[in-house]
Amino acid sequence: MARPRGRWSIARAAVLVTGLTALSTLLGFARDVVLGAVFGAGAGLDAYLVAQGLMSIVLALIAGAMARSVTPVTAREAAAETDGCTGHRGFDVALTLTLAVLGVGGVLMGIFVGPVTAVLAPGFDDAQAATVQSLTRIVLVATVLVAGTNLLAALAQAHGRFAWSSLEGVPFNLVMVAAAGLFGPRYGVTALAVGFVVGSGARLLLQVIPLRALGTPVRARWDTRDAAFREIARLAPPMMVGSALANVNTLVDRAFASTLTDGSITALSYGWRLVNLPEALLIASLLVPLYPALGAAAGDPAEVRRLVGRGLSVTVTLLVPLCVVLALVAVPAVDVAFGHGAFDADDVAATATAVVWFTPGLLALGCRQVVVRASYAVGDSRSPVTVAVGGMVLNVVGNVVLTPVMGLSGIALATSVSLVAAAVANGWLLRRRHRGLDGRPVIALLLRAVVLAAAGTAAGLAVRAVAVELPALAQVVVVAAVVAAVHALGLVLLRAPERRLPGEMLRAARRR
C-alpha cells in the first residue's frame, strides 16, 4: 500500500500546485499584456528584455543550480525527521555562500555591463545599448533576492510545503503590472526595472511564511566541511553549467534577433511566453512534488522508472493537443493574448510566427524536464550538462545557418530542433546509465501521440477553414474544443493507459 499512497501524495500536490500556479500564471499574462500595451514590441521593451537576460547570467551561474542541488539532499533529511525539524546545516551553508557569491557577481556585472552588452546585443545602436546598461544595473539588485527566494522555496518543498512557492508570482506580477501601467507612461522602461526589484523583494518575503510555520531555523553558516553541504556542492557545478547553458541559448537567440528589425526580441520573448505557458502551468507544477519524490526514491530503480513513466504520460497527454492548437491558431491566439494598445497587427504577426516555429519544442521541453529531474535525483548531473552543451552548440549552429535565410522563424526553429535533440539524448542516457526509463512503454506513448496529433491536426484544419470569419477568441475556442475532443476520443479508441489520467487527477483533487 506504500506505493499508491506515495503516488496519490504526488498527484494531490500536483493538483494543489497547478491550481495555485494558475493564479500566478494568469497574473503573469496580465503583466505581459500590460507591458505590450504600454510599450509595444519596440526598442524599449527589447532593451528591458536584454537587461533581464544579462541579470540571468549571474543568477544562472549559481542560484537556480543551488536550489535544485539542495532539494534531493534536504528531502532525504526531511524524510528521516521524527521529532520536528531542527534545521539543515548543509542548506544553511549553501544559502550563505550563494548569497555572498551572487552579491559579488552582481557588482562585477554592473562594472563590466558595457562590453557584455556589446557582445550580447551587437545589433543595438549606442542609445539602445546605453539603455540596456542602465536597466541592467538596476535589475542586478534583485539577484540576491531571487536567489534567496529560490532556495527558501526549495527548503519548504523538501518538507512537503508547496503552496507558498506556487503563489510567489502573485505579488511580483501585481507589482510589475502597477509599475508598467502607473509609472511606465511617465518613466518608460526604467519603471519596469525598479518594479522588478520591488517585486522580487515581495516574492522573498512570501517564502518566509511556510518556514515559520514549520519552525525550520535558517542560519548563516560557513562550515564548508559539512557532509550535507559537500554532497550539495558535488551536485552544484554541473547544474550551474546546465542552468548557464539554458540562459546562454536565450541570450544567443536575442543576440541574433538584435540584428533584425526593432521588436524582434520582444516577438521572440512573447512567442515563447505563449508557447511555454502550458509547460509552466501544468508540467512545472507536476515537477514541484515529483522532484522530491524522485530524490527519495533514488535507491529504487523500479520506483524511479514508475515515477518517470507517470510524469512522461502526463506530459505527453496534456501537451500534444495543446501543441496542435497553438500551431493551428497562432495568429488569433496571439491577438487575443497580446493584441492590445501599442501592440499592433505587425507585432501580432511577428509573434505568431515565433509561436508556430517554437511549438515543436514545447513537447520536447516538457519531456526533457521530467527526464532531467530524474537524472539529478539519482545523482547524475553530468549527463544533462553534457547534453545541454550539445544542445547549445546545435542551437548556435542553427541560428547561424537559419537566421539569414528565415529571419525570426529560423531563430525559433533552431531552438525547437535543439530541444528535441536534447530530450531524446537525455532519455537515452537515463535508460542506459541508470535503468531509469522503460523504453517500450515510452516509445508506445510517443507513437500514440503522433497518431493522435495527426488526427487532431486534420480535424483542426477543417474547423479552422470554416471558422476563419469568427472573432479571434471564437476561433481559438472552437479549434481547441475540436482538437481536444478528437484527442480524448482517440485515447479511448486506442485503449491507451493515459486515458485514465483525467479521472485520476479529479479524484486526487476531491481527496485534496
Instruction: Judge whether residue 355 has pLDDT over 90.
Output: yes
> In terms of pTM, does the model score above 0.75?
no
Instruction: Judge whether residue 5 has pLDDT over 50.
Output: no
Are 324 and 483 spatial neighbours (Cβ–Cβ below 8 Å)?
yes
φ and ψ at 223, to 5 degrees?
A: -80, 85
pLDDT in tens, 128-138: 889 989 999 99
Are 76 and 227 spatial neighbours (Cβ–Cβ below 8 Å)?
no
Query: Residues 6 or more apart from 215 whose CB is under 8 A from it?
Result: 84, 85
How far apart, in whole angstroms, are the C-alpha atoms of residue 159 and residue 173?
Answer: 26
How far apart, in whole angstroms, are the C-alpha atoms of residue 272 and residue 267?
Answer: 8
Other Cβ atoms within 10 Å of 422 Cβ, number: 27
Instruction: Judge whether residue 95 has pLDDT over 80.
Output: yes
Query: Residues 6 or more apart from 126 whose CB is under 8 A from it?
Result: none
C-alpha distances out from residue 119 to 404, 412, 500, Å: 19, 21, 50
Cβ density class 268-302: b for 16+ within 10 Å, e for less: bbbbbbbbbbbbebbbbbbbbbbbbbbbbbbeeee
Instruction: Judge whether residue 10 has pLDDT over 70.
Output: no
Helices 2-39 and 169-178: angle between axes, nearest 10 degrees: 0
pLDDT band with cut points at 50, 70 and 90 for residue 15: low
pLDDT band with cut points at 50, 70 and 90 for residue 512: very low
Query: Residues 6 or more apart from 421 whose CB is under 8 A from it?
Result: 390, 391, 394
Q: For residue 47, which of 145, 172, 161, 188 has the smallest C-alpha distance?
A: 188
- Residue 114, all three cell numbers: 558595457
- Residue 309, all three cell numbers: 513513466
The pLDDT value given to residue 382: 80
Question: Residue for cell digits 530524490?
Answer: 295
Length of the chain: 512
**Nearest 5 degrees, angle CA 315-CA 508-CA 158?**
75
Helices (H), 329-438: 330-338, 345-377, 382-406, 408-434
Q: What is the mean pLDDT of residues 319-348?
A: 91
Where is average pLDDT lowest: 19-28, 99-108, 380-389?
A: 19-28
Q: What is the mean pLDDT of residues 303-307?
A: 82
- Residue 394, all three cell numbers: 546545435
C-alpha distances out from residue 181 to 33, 83, 186, 205, Å: 10, 49, 10, 24
φ and ψ at 268, to 5 degrees?
A: -60, -45
Are 401 and 256 spatial neighbours (Cβ–Cβ below 8 Å)?
no
Residue type present at position 209 = I
For residue 51, the SS3 value is helix
How far apart, in whole angstroms, are the C-alpha atoms of residue 345 and residue 8?
Answer: 46
Structural domain of residue 40, as residue ranges?
A: 2-511
Question: Residue for cell digits 493564479?
Answer: 23
343: left (phi > 0), else alpha (psi -120 to 50), else beta?
Answer: beta
Where is average pLDDT lowest: 50-54, 427-431, 471-475?
A: 50-54
Mean pLDDT computed over every residue of the chain = 82
Please spell the DSSP secondary structure of 160-225, one letter per residue: T--HHHHTTHHHHHHHHHHIIIIIHHHHTTHHHHHHHHHHHHHHHHHTHHHHHHHT--------TT
The pLDDT value given to residue 406: 93
The pLDDT value given to residue 21: 64
Q: Quote the distance between the C-alpha of residue 366 and its chain's center.
A: 9
Are 479 and 325 spatial neighbours (Cβ–Cβ below 8 Å)?
yes
The pLDDT value given to residue 507: 53
- Residue 301, all three cell numbers: 530503480
Q: What is the mean pLDDT of residues 492-502?
A: 77
The pLDDT value given to residue 375: 85
The CA radius of gyration of the chain, in Å to the nearest whole number, is 22
For residue 112, the SS3 value is coil
How far apart, in whole angstroms, are the C-alpha atoms of residue 336 and residue 425?
Answer: 36
Who has greater pLDDT, 445 or 27? 445
Instruction: Judge whether residue 483 has pLDDT over 60.
Output: yes
Domain count within the chain: 1
Query: Residues 6 or more apart from 230 whose CB is under 8 A from it?
Result: 90, 224
How far apart, in whole angstroms, are the C-alpha atoms of residue 381 and residue 151?
Answer: 18
